[in-house]
A and B are shown apart, each in its own frame.
Chain A
Amino acid sequence: MANYLRKIIADGVGYSTIIDPKFKTNRIQITFLTDLLEETAGANALAVGIMSSSNAKYKNISEITAKLNSLYGASISVDVVKQGDYQKLTVGVSSINNRYALEGEDISGETLSILLDCIFSPNAQNNEFAKEPFDFRKKDLLDSIEAEINNKRGYAVLQNQKKAFAGENSGNSHFGTKETAENLTSAQAFASYKRLLSDAQIEIYFVGSEENDTIEKKISDAFSKLDRKVKENKFINFSPLKQNVYRFEEKLDVNQCKMVMAFKTDCTDRHAMKLMNTIFGGTPFSKLFLNVREKLSLCYYCASNYSMLKGTLFVDCGVEEENIKKAEQEILNQLEEIKKGNFSDEDIKNSLLSIENSLKGIGDTPMSYVNWYYSCFVQNEIITPAQALEKYNEITKERIIKAAESIKLDTVYVMKGE
């Protein structure tokens, strides 16, 4: 396990370093966390999209890619996702270590300069991004929103979330709506860019094979010059349970029906909830997989997922229309079994082994380190994977039953064929 260190380099800006000598690559990523609002989500996504594909020196995607290719395929990536009530926007670079450069190039130094230019010297004038990168990313944003329907499984989960989290930030799509995106102007995107730099919580991660003071100094210098005013953020916001279960359907031209069920909890014992979820539907030996898929052959997939930030557990499955009711009944039945304590010590032991297996694998890729420490940050508890494992190992059967008892059905979405 590598050394982990997080420093505060400006108001609401954390800089984390993770050094592991086995890596042949460097990863630097800058993550912005901001309220997920329907009005601003699209503009924020557009702003980071533009940041990741241009700067004052390399003015468009062609120029910047040409430069990065010559740095041995270094790449700038952009990622926009929903994290509870927040929008998480990341711009990051990955590159190979200088020791693999065939002509002695300073790959890490040059990629860092490009990244910092993307953030602090955008291709913009008079408080507007230049037309070329703006048009490119606006079309991308609109196309991405339209393409949400291409992935039916993800689309179904999103449809459920819109109702399960109605009235909460997390009910919004991470890209916002098509209507908002269509009307976005370059000035609005630029204003969002400015706002991200001044208001968002910013978490920066450097993962490399050796300490690099120059990288830290350059990043620290750049961010400490910002005029920052960050509000108090609260990333964990449990979603309230509806009085009556909300059910809705949608008809699409599809072969396979999908069902997504959202369950809410008020249980704050998050490690027990996570372990309960693993036993219920988190593995190929879980209750849902063994019963709904293997025993009754009702679905090709049937799995559960627990959001620690929203206190909400989702079960999703792909199912034949005539089996929808049967599948729902069996999913609820399996949950009842857990509530009644009808699971064995071996179920617990095997689920713990599965959790241990993933925890011990953290650190084999730069991204796994970043994702771990990022999730620690939003959960407001920075611990190592080994410490987390200790917490899981302490969980008793009673705590698992209590966690299961706390969850109640809230919203059911069904996608049917036309």
Chain B
Amino acid sequence: MEIQEIYCSQTGDKCNFIKHSSGLKIYICEMNGFSTTEALFGTKYGSINTMFKTGKDKDYTTVPEGIAHFLEHKLFENEDCDAFALYAKTGANANAYTSFDRTCYLFSCSENYLESLKILLGFVQNPYFTQETVDKEQGIIGQEIKMCNDNPGWKVLFNMLQGMYHNHPVAIDIAGTVESIAKIDAELLYKCYNTFYNLHNMVLVIAGNVKTADVLEVADELLKSCENIELETVFPHEPYEIVKSEVYEHLPVGMPIFNIGIKCAPLSGYDRLKADMECYVAGNAISDPSAPLYKKLIDEKLINSTFGFEVFEGDGFFALIFSGESNDPKKVLSYLIDEIEGIKAHGIDKELYNSIKKSTYGGLIMESNNVEAVASNLISAFMSGVEPYDQIKVLSEMTYDDVQKTIIERFDTKNLTLSVIE
């Protein structure tokens, strides 16, 4: 198998890429001087992938919401014991998570990483579900859903997404609902497993204190070759426009919290990354503490230091989110719209643009210093369909005009939803 070295000319960082004969893509970053190893075994299967078919199927299958997350929980158990009991023997710190577009199983450790890697590759490739264990899990996940519903930061986001998306499953809680998970049975879990946990749809990322040759030896031993099943996932048609412009809910919170989401047309691959980075710089030029809007909102006591911005994107969705705490979220919104329209008309302040860009570059350098962040960036690149280090490449090629154009094209102030928990 060919080991391809991927090099980042901006920072001098590098990693190895291997297209394994089993169908799995493997990224390995050897980091000198670090003691920990971070490994992630992930599949492009998240809460939004509820409609799919393989090359052999005639029709699309639709599955209950929350099933990817349910599967994540169940995969931790095999016939004899659960994966935590296996990891207990190596000392590794193990976990798993499901997000909108992926499910990842991970461990970090500072000893015996090859033993832990064997456990990881072993249990993820060996599902074991029975109706009895599925029933038991419904109780635990039911508690998890209730816990999330008591988290106002989580609720304000999903209320906003429901105000923005008509049909796209991004608006549904990752864990599903108590009702939707009640429809899950062992047979459905096997169907989803066999579809999405095909090595052609998966990736292994390992960073830190590792040796490529040793990782590949374990991979050769344990990876089971998979036939490429030509998996296709689809999303229901999603109009460009939002559903409604305001969503309010009452819950116990201190200061009312808000999310303002601007809905944008979705993109994929390198174009999405480029738009993401441009929007990141643009959004910070609007909302950073050094920007005029922030000062104005602080001076009028409309926000506190929790005010922030993020780009929220994935397959079939792309949104720009401003969030914070305020006694008057509507007034914050009106100032925000004025600021965006002002920048569209007069251009971003050049000095502000340059300092935000420099700060973004510094942030990427800081991340390259951290084993966990390196592994996380490698897996994100795979999930987004771009190359490692494309982020810093996009940033170094970015121009002022690109960012100005992005504000005009994507910061559509007529297509936004305000969500408030008070």
Residues of chain A having any CB pair with chain B under 8 Å: 20-25, 60-63, 65-66, 68-74, 94-96, 100, 102, 132, 135-136, 139-140, 143, 145-152, 252-256, 283-285, 289, 293-294, 297, 299-301, 318-320, 350, 353-354, 356-358, 360-361, 363-365
Given the complex, which residues of A lie within 8 Å of B109, measured CB to CB?
357, 361
A72–B357 CA distance with the chains assembled, in angstroms:
8
Given the complex, which residues of A lie within 8 Å of B146, measured CB to CB?
255-256, 318
Given the complex, which residues of A lie within 8 Å of B369, measured CB to CB?
22-25, 365
B301 within 8 A of A: yes
Chain B's interface: helix, strand, loop or mixed, by majority? mixed
Given the complex, which residues of A lie within 8 Å of B150, measured CB to CB?
152, 254-256
B34 within 8 A of A: yes
Given the complex, which residues of A lie within 8 Å of B55, measured CB to CB?
none
Given the complex, which residues of B lie within 8 Å of A95, measured CB to CB?
362
Q: Please, which residue of chain A has its CB at the minimum distance from the CB of B352?
A: A66
B 278-304 to A, binary, CB cutoff 8 A, 1 in contact else 0: 000000000011110011001101001
Say whether A70 contacts B88, CB under 8 Å: no
Question: Which of B93, B149, B289 is the one whose CB lies under 8 Å from A61?
Answer: B289
Say whether A294 contacts B288, CB under 8 Å: no
Q: Please, which residue of chain B has its CB at the minimum distance from the CB of A151?
A: B151
Say whether A149 contacts B93, CB under 8 Å: no
A132–B356 CA distance with the chains assembled, in angstroms:
24
B153 within 8 A of A: yes
Min Cβ gap B257→A in Å is 7
Given the complex, which residues of A lie within 8 Å of B298, measured CB to CB?
61-62, 136
Say whether B301 contacts A354, CB under 8 Å: no
Q: Please, which residue of chain B has its CB at the minimum distance from the CB of A152?
A: B150
A310–B226 CA distance with the chains assembled, in angstroms:
55
Question: Which of A73, A150, A293 is the one whose CB lies under 8 Å from B362?
Answer: A73
Min Cβ gap B388→A in Å is 17
Within 344-371 of B, Cβ neighbours of A (below 8 Å) are at 352, 354-356, 358-363, 365-366, 368-371
Min Cβ gap B302→A in Å is 10
Say whether B252 contacts A254, CB under 8 Å: yes
A100–B146 CA distance with the chains assembled, in angstroms:
46
Of the candidates B89, B146, B150, B304, the one having the most CB atoms from chain A within 10 angstroms of its own CB is: B150
A281–B301 CA distance with the chains assembled, in angstroms:
43
A72–B361 CA distance with the chains assembled, in angstroms:
7
Given the complex, which residues of B lie within 8 Å of A284, measured CB to CB?
84, 94
Say whether A66 contacts B301, CB under 8 Å: no
Given the complex, which residues of A lie within 8 Å of B91, measured CB to CB?
350, 353-354, 356-357
Min Cβ gap A363→B in Å is 6
Identify 5 residue pairs between A and B in the complex whose beta-carbon atoms are under 8 Å apart, listed by A's number.
A62-B295, A69-B359, A96-B365, A139-B301, A150-B254
- A72-B361, A73-B358, A150-B254 given; A293·B33 CB < 8 A: no
Of the candidates A61, A74, A354, A364, the one having the most CB atoms from chain B within 10 angstroms of its own CB is: A364
Say whether B304 contacts A283, CB under 8 Å: no
Given the complex, which residues of B lie within 8 Å of A293, measured CB to CB?
140
Q: Please, which residue of chain A has its CB at the minimum distance from the CB of B136?
A: A297
A365–B36 CA distance with the chains assembled, in angstroms:
10
Given the complex, which residues of A lie within 8 Å of B140, measured CB to CB?
293, 297, 300
- A96-B366, A254-B150 given; A361·B110 CB < 8 A: yes
Given the complex, which residues of B lie within 8 Å of A72, measured CB to CB?
358-359, 361-362, 365
Given the complex, which residues of A lie within 8 Å of B358, measured CB to CB?
69-73, 102
Given the complex, which residues of A lie within 8 Å of B149, measured CB to CB?
255-256
- A69-B288, A285-B84 given; A22·B34 CB < 8 A: yes
Given the complex, which residues of B lie within 8 Å of A318, measured CB to CB?
143, 146-147
A71–B88 CA distance with the chains assembled, in angstroms:
44
Say whether A100 contacts B111, CB under 8 Å: no
Say whether B288 contacts A140, CB under 8 Å: no
Min Cβ gap A73→B in Å is 3
Min Cβ gap A211→B in Å is 17
B90 within 8 A of A: yes
Question: Which of B87, B301, B368 is the one whose CB lies under 8 Å from A24?
Answer: B368
Beyond the given pairs A62-B290, A150-B257, 11 more chain A to chain B contacts, judged by CB atoms under 8 angstroms and listed by A's residue number, are: A66-B290, A73-B361, A96-B362, A139-B304, A143-B255, A146-B254, A255-B147, A256-B149, A297-B139, A350-B91, A357-B109
